[in-house]
Structures are given as structure tokens and as C-alpha cells.
Structure 1
Amino acid sequence: MSSPESNSVLRIPNIRLFIGFRVLFNARFYYPIFTILFLDFGLTLEQFSILNAAWAATILLAEVPSGALADRWGRRRLVRLAGIFMFLEMLLICLTPAGVTPWLFWIFLLNRILSGVAEAAASGADESLAYDSLSEIGREGEWPRVLEALMKLQSVGFFVAMVAGAAVYDPNFAARISGWLGISREWTQEDTLHWPLYLTLVTSVGAFWCAWRMTESHGTISSEETPAEPMDPWRDTLRTGKWILRSPIPFLLILGGLFYDSIGRVFATLTSEYFRNIGVPEAYYGLIGAGIALLGLLLPRVARKMVESLSLPTNTTILAIWLTGSLFGLSFLLPGWGIIFGVTTMVAMRFTDFFLSHYLNREVDSRHRATVLSFRGLAMNLGYGSISLLYGGLIQSLKANGATGDQAFREALSYFAPWFLLTLVVLGVVARIRLRRVPHQH
């Protein structure tokens, strides 16, 4: 009789490689000093904004076609492609010295495009490979355990990247380390500029290795089995889009994920401003971020228990109440104690990701899983972009009426909870309309 350990879902090679790929792909050591890094290379804030817009646009344009390509020509090929592009994007700026003009902006533009294509290629394809590895042996019900392990290890990876990335970028840290080693030397920012990038280049090699070792499930379509015409991926994309619109549960899951995720992601980009407005010293920002990462070690088990023991409507209702309370709490901007609501809002995002992956994969068949998951990614990014634009417009309007920067931020924050409640009403109405005929289909 086999032991529980020997029968663990984590012993399946594709599952281990999927988790390894996700952790290494997302462990970006330059994230804690992202903006500062680009500026220290010699870019301006305006150029930094343009580069971020180019990155987002690349993902939006490549997201769904990449999913269709994965379903048509093989998921493993797209995951491998993502690993290659990640390595190239990191190698490019690792080899770029600071202050290279006039080519600096164009080099970083190419970096952002490569990064966007890598994100789009990985989105959906890696998850489809892993899920189908379970489905073909009849163990898809254990997907929550995979998500639990993934979220735990991603939390560890994020924590290490945040702490190590910020440390190696600091010349004072390099001076202390060299002092302990008996090396007397003056370190400058130019000396340590590339160090977080070198660490991420190493993880890109690990991500590519994981991608290369993954195998295609026997039940999926590959280019060897099906002759492909140039227009096939686009036809598959249109067919899958129509299927989502006709299928109530997948459509509502993606729409609900958009509403739940977008408001949380907008707040995630404003956390430093929020902490400053509630009187948290800047020195604690990194510690709070690291604490949230460590909290991720505990959350996945709770999320798994919820999907295994509670229904989809119950879980989405609990999450809606949690997120609504968190957003209302943010609007009070409680000195010090407001950290709690910042953390609970970030926690809601983790649960949203977990629930959406579990329930959406459960509803989708293998043949167009990657395309559907790419539509999910596209919807999440469109939702985030749209809410960001609305938020920017609201801030501009408040300032035009005489509010200072901090006043505008505080007032805008009070709109988050009412907006989310409005989206819940919309979701409820759409769900009531779309689900009317569902019982007759069983």
C-alpha cells in the first residue's frame, strides 16, 4: 500500500516543474527598486511611464493570440518561448551600462517588449500543461493542492527577492560585506546597479530549465498531430471567445474575477502612498511587504479548505464581504491601524487568484484551456487598466476643484468601496440573467 507521500500530487514531474517555473519566472530581484533602477540607468520619469505603457500594451496584444498558439501548436513550446524571452530581456539590460545615450531608451523599450511577450507566452500555457497532467490521470480534483504549494513557494520566492534585491542594490550593504571579508573598497551605486539584474538572470536560466523539462500531455493538440494554417490561431481565438460568451459559468467567473481583481490591483500600486498618509515611516514599507509575503505561507491552506468544503456562491460571497469591509476600512485612513485594512485588501487578491484558477480550470476542457486562461489574463489586465484610468481621471478632477495631492488621494480612496459594491450589483444582475437556463442544461 502506497504512502500518502509517495502518492502526492507534487511527485508528478510536470507539477513540480510548473511550480518551479512560476516561482523562478516571478522572482524578480529588481522589483523592490524597480523605478529607482530605471532612473539610475539614466532614464527620465516620462520615459519610465512610456516604457510601462509599452509593456502593458505588449501583453494586451499578445495575451490571447499566445493562448491560441499554445492550444494549436503545443503549450510546452509557448512555455519554452517564455523562458527564452525572459533570459533575453534580462541579458539585454545586464549588458547595458548606465547612461548610454541616445540608445538607452530604445534598449529598455526592447527589454519591455521582450518582457511583455514572455508574460503573454507563459500566461495560460504553463497552467494548462500542469492542469492537464492531472486531468489525464483523473486527479484534477487535486488542483487546489497544487495551487496551495505554488502560492506558498511563490511567497517564499517573493520574500527572498524583495529582501535580497534591495540589499544587493545598496552600496552600503556591499561595503559592509566587503568589510567583513577584509576587503577595503569604496562602493558606488554604479558598482551595484546591475547586481539585482544578475540575480534575476540566474533565475531566468532556472525558469528556462523548468520550461524545457516540461512535457506535453497526451490528450492535447500539438503541431505534429494537426496541420496548422497561419490563420488557425485567430480562428481558434474567435471560437473560444464565442464559447466563453455562450457559457454562463466561465463568463461569470472571468467577469467576477475582473471586478474583484481590478480594484485590489489598483490599491496595490498605491500602497506606499496609503502608508504615508496613515503615518507609517518609509523604513517600514519593505518590512510590511515582506510580512505580506510570509503571510502567503498560511493563506493557501485556508483557500484550499474553502474550495474543498464550500460552494462557489458561498466562497464568492465570503470574499465579497471581506473585500468590501477592507475597502471601507481603507477609506478611514486610520493612523497606524490602517495597515490592517491594507493587508486584508492584499489578502483578498490572493484568494481571488486561487478561486479563479480552481473554478475556471474545472469548467474548461483541455483543447482550448490555454486560450480561455489567456482571455482571463486579458480581462484582468483590461480591468486593471480601465480602473487605473478612472482613478487618474478622478484625481485630476479633484485637483481641478482645489484639492491638494494628499487631499485628492484621501477623497479618491473613499470611492473604492462604493465602486466595488456597484460592480457587485452589476455582477449579480448579469448572473441572474445568464443562469436562468442553466438548470435545464443538466
Structure 2
Amino acid sequence: MTLKDILLIRNVRNFLIFRSSYFARFYYPVFTLLYLDYDLTLSQFAMLNVVWAATIVLAEVPSGAFADTLGRKKLVVLSSLVMFIEIAMIAFVPTGNSTIVFMVFFVNRVLSGLAMALASGADEALAYDTLKEQGNEDLWPRVLQIQLRIASTVGIFVTLIGAAMYDVDFMAHIFQFFGLDTPESTRDLMRIPVFATLLVALVAIYAAFDMEEEYQPVVSGAGKIATMKASLKLTLNAGRWVMATPYVLFILLYYALFEHTSRMFLTMDSQYYRAIDIPIIYFGFIGAGVSVLKILFAGQSRRLAESMSPKAFILVMGIATMATYYWISLGWSIYGVIPALILIFIIMTMNIFISYHLNKKTESHNRATVLSFKGLMFNVGYGTIGILYAYYYKVLSQGFSEAEIEQHIDFIASLSSFFYYFTFLFVVVGVIFYVKDKKQAIF
């Protein structure tokens, strides 16, 4: 099947549009700096991301179950609307009162987590089951590859423009061209990438509404109580199935470990780049380079995920990730960008591997629920590492002078925690896997 034929499949096309626009956020290249310019501290930033993760933990699996009972399209549509609202909140929040700002961002993180939970599993299940009904489920890795390339292409423009929107010198020329007062600091620019993201959110809303619900819900016309019971029953059954299926359980455990550790670091990548003396204007070029990397290596990632045995794949990726975190902890100026790029390639490949193997082992009737368990396990890990890192950084920074903190020496010193954290958990999960695998082969 050609690329054109794949794009003619309505749900697959809308899945690609939805995913690409949902995550096309112009403030991502300066995510941490944006929070700091709103007068939030780095510890508050980490804790707000814990709130985000905790919300997903609470809403992830129930939302997946509702997707399998009420219908997947309804949840995708609701997710896009909630996402629009949460972005609008930080676009229009008045500054000046740090307490009000923190509370608005707190609600923003709750709504953002809810939006993520609502869409998680539902959009993927809609697209995958459409292919399965046509007998083309083997095309799913290729769809993921296409999605990666489209999102990366969009990401090139989003990161370049987003970083440029946050560069005072560049935006001064734009302001002068339109006869406006030139910005004096990034605080004068911080809302611009947020407003740009708000416009792109409308594309995600369109794609969500244009999806088709081809899957018949388990419950129809049985009332809210019956629907709730069916959702909870489906959740419990899916949970039992995950725990009783070592293949799926360990796939999810390894996914959660790789994903939540890398996400915590990559969430703070703008602070990392600033700490290793990268000018803000270059953040966009780095982001564009990441997108080009994904486009060029998406095919290689898919081939690795499909061709290597699960054991060999996980071991190789684990060792590579440990080496990468160690390199990051060195805090090398300029060259410190390289391990960040390697980490992104590792996670990109892991995500294709996980989705490919997880969908192969999951039945259609509870696909969205099981995929939601994937998000649940990731966010439990993400919330945990967020709390640990916020506490560790707060304690660590007390041993540095104000001058050293201004030079971000304390932040660089905190990065070694990622190497030790990942290595410890990878060994623990590996030992548990080895014991289980000796009794009965898992992969």
C-alpha cells in the first residue's frame, strides 16, 4: 500500500493530523524558561509536572475504559477541547501575583493531564482498529513511522519559530517593523508562543471531530450506571490480564522506565541548554535538528524495532541509555547537545518497539484500556521521578552559592541523578525479568 493509499484512510489520516497538531507547541523549545519567566521556581516547575502526571494516573485507565464503552471518538473530541482551554488559561493569566499565577498553572496542569489521559489510547485505537478491519494491521509500524516523520517535519517549523519568538534580539526587529515598542526581556515575549499554540490547537479540534467511530461500544443505551459498571469491569479485567501476561507486563515496565526518565530530562532541556551556554536563538535549531534526526532515522528505528529480538533490543537500548545519561551529567558545553540527541533517538525507537509488540498482543475489545495502562505506568514513574528530583535539587542547591546558582552549576551537578536512577531501576527490572524468564520464557 502506498503512502497516498494510507492517507486516504480517514481515521488514519485524522490520527496523523491530530497527533501532529496536538503536540505542536511553540513554547516547547523554551518550556522551562517560560515557567521561570512567569515567576515560578524550578522546584515549583518540577512539582507542577508531578501534578500533571498524577492527574493522568487518576484519569488514564478510567478514560481508556470509557473509550472502549462510550466510544473512542467522544474522548478524543473532549481531549482536544480541554487542551484548548488549558492553553488559553496560561495565554491570558494576569501576572504580578505569584500565588494567582501558581494556582492558574496548577489548574492548567490538571486540565493538561486530563486532556492527555482522554486522548491516550483512544486515538491510537481508532486508527489501529480501522486498519485491522481492513486486514491491514501489519501496516501499523509504517503508520507510526509516517506519524513520526510528519510530526518531526511540523516540529522543525514549530521549534524554529517558537525559539525565535523567545529571542529578544530577533523579535526586536519584528516589533520595529510593525512600529511597536521593542521588547526588553523574554518576559515581554512569553505569551507569543502560547498564543501561536492556541491557534494550532484548532487543527487538533478539527481532526478529532472528523474521526469516525467504527468500533461498536460494549454498552449502548444502558444508562450511566450500567456504563460506569461496564467501564470499571473492563478496567479490572484489563488490569488482571496485564498482570497475568508477563510478555505485556514487562513490555510496559521497560517502556515506563525508559519513557518517564527521559521525559523528565527532556522537559527541562531548555534549562540544560542554557546551563551549557547555548544561546536561546539556537534552541530552535536544536529542535529542528531533532526533527530532522527523527525524519532521517524513523525507518531505521522501525527496522530495529521489528527485526531485533525483544531481549537483545532492550539490553542494547538500556546500555546505550546509561552511557547517554552519564555523558549528559558531564555538562560539556556545546558537545553536551550530542547525548541529548542520542537520547531522543533511543526513546523514538523504544516507542515504536513498544507500540508494535503491545498492539500485537492486545485484543480489539480492550485495546484502548490496555494502551491506557501504558500511560498509567509511565505517569506513575514520571510523578515519582518528579517528586524525587524536586526534593534532590532543592537539597543539592543549598550547597551552592548564589553566584554558582546563577551560573547553573547546581543544575549541572543534579544531572548525575538521572544516570544512577535509570541504572538502578534497569538492573532491578532486569533481575526480576531474568528470574521470571528462567521459570518460563517470556519473550
Which TM class, normalised by the smaller chain length? Answer: 0.7 to 0.9
RMSD of equivalent CA atoms: 3.4
**Does structure 1 residue 19 correspond to structure 2 residue 21?**
no
Distance of aligned partners of 1:176 and 1:328 in 2 relative to their CA distance in 1, 3 Å threshold: closer
- Of 434, 437, 441, which residue of structure 1 is paired with 2:436? 434
**Does structure 1 residue 66 correspond to structure 2 residue 63?**
yes
1:203 matched residue in structure 2: 200
1:150 matched residue in structure 2: 147
For 2:293 and 2:207, how far apart are their aligned partners in 1?
Answer: 26
The answer as to whether partners of 2:242 and 2:248 remain within 8 angstroms in 1 is yes
Q: How far did residue 164 of structure 1 move?
A: 1.9
Query: After the TM superposition, which of the residue ranges 352-361 and 105-114 deviates more from structure 2?
Result: 105-114
Written as runs of structure 1 = structure 2, the 5 A alignment for 1:87-126 is: 87-99=84-96, 105-126=102-123
For 1:398 and 1:416, how far apart are their aligned partners in 2?
Answer: 14
Query: After the TM superposition, which of the residue ranges 205-214 and 413-422 deviates more from structure 2?
Result: 413-422
1:422 matched residue in structure 2: 424
Distance of aligned partners of 1:110 and 1:308 in 2 relative to their CA distance in 1, 3 Å threshold: closer
1:177 matched residue in structure 2: 174
**Does structure 1 residue 167 correspond to structure 2 residue 164?**
yes
Distance of aligned partners of 1:217 and 1:429 in 2 relative to their CA distance in 1, 3 Å threshold: farther
State TM-score, norm by structure 1.
0.85
Tell me the amino acid that sits aligned with residue 162 of structure 2.
G
Tell me the amino acid that sits aligned with residue 206 of structure 2.
W
**Does structure 1 residue 57 correspond to structure 2 residue 54?**
yes
For 2:323 and 2:214, how far apart are their aligned partners in 1?
Answer: 43
Written as runs of structure 1 = structure 2, the 5 A alignment for 1:163-242 is: 163-168=160-165, 173=170, 175-177=172-174, 179-180=176-177, 183-188=178-183, 194-218=191-215, 220-221=216-217, 223-224=219-220, 228-242=226-240
Aligned length: 435
Q: How far did residue 252 of structure 1 move?
A: 0.4
State TM-score, norm by structure 2.
0.85
Tell me the amino acid that sits aligned with residue 315 of structure 2.
T
The answer as to whether partners of 1:41 and 1:97 remain within 8 angstroms in 2 is no
1:134 matched residue in structure 2: 131
Tell me the amino acid that sits aligned with residue 174 of structure 2.
I
Query: After the TM superposition, which of the residue ranges 203-212 and 25-34 deviates more from structure 2?
Result: 25-34
CA offset digits 1:369-415 (Å, max 9, x no partner): 11111111111111122233334444456567789766665555445
Distance of aligned partners of 1:10 and 1:425 in 2 relative to their CA distance in 1, 3 Å threshold: same
Q: How far did residue 112 of structure 1 move?
A: 3.1
Tell me the amino acid that sits aligned with residue 236 of structure 2.
L
For 1:277 and 1:82, how far apart are their aligned partners in 2?
Answer: 35
Tell me the amino acid that sits aligned with residue 180 of structure 2.
R
**Does structure 1 residue 337 correspond to structure 2 residue 305?**
no
The answer as to whether partners of 2:164 and 2:284 remain within 8 angstroms in 1 is no
The answer as to whether partners of 2:251 and 2:354 remain within 8 angstroms in 1 is yes
Query: After the TM superposition, which of the residue ranges 41-50 and 337-346 deviates more from structure 2?
Result: 41-50
- Of 373, 380, 388, which residue of structure 1 is paired with 2:386? 388
For 2:171 and 2:335, how far apart are their aligned partners in 1?
Answer: 35
**Does structure 1 residue 249 correspond to structure 2 residue 244?**
no
CA offset digits 1:303-362 (Å, max 9, x no partner): 111233332223223322322322333344445433322221222122222211111111
SS in 2 for 1:229: helix
Tell me the amino acid that sits aligned with residue 25 of structure 1.
Y
- The higher-RCO structure (CA 8 Å, 6+ apart) is 2
Q: Which ranges in structure 1 are unaligned for 5 or more consecutive residues?
A: none
Identity %: 36
CA offset digits 1:221-261 (Å, max 9, x no partner): 25437763333322221221111100011100011112222
The answer as to whether partners of 1:330 and 1:413 remain within 8 angstroms in 2 is yes
The answer as to whether partners of 1:74 and 1:223 remain within 8 angstroms in 2 is no
**Does structure 1 residue 379 correspond to structure 2 residue 377?**
yes
Query: After the TM superposition, which of the residue ranges 394-403 and 311-320 deviates more from structure 2?
Result: 394-403
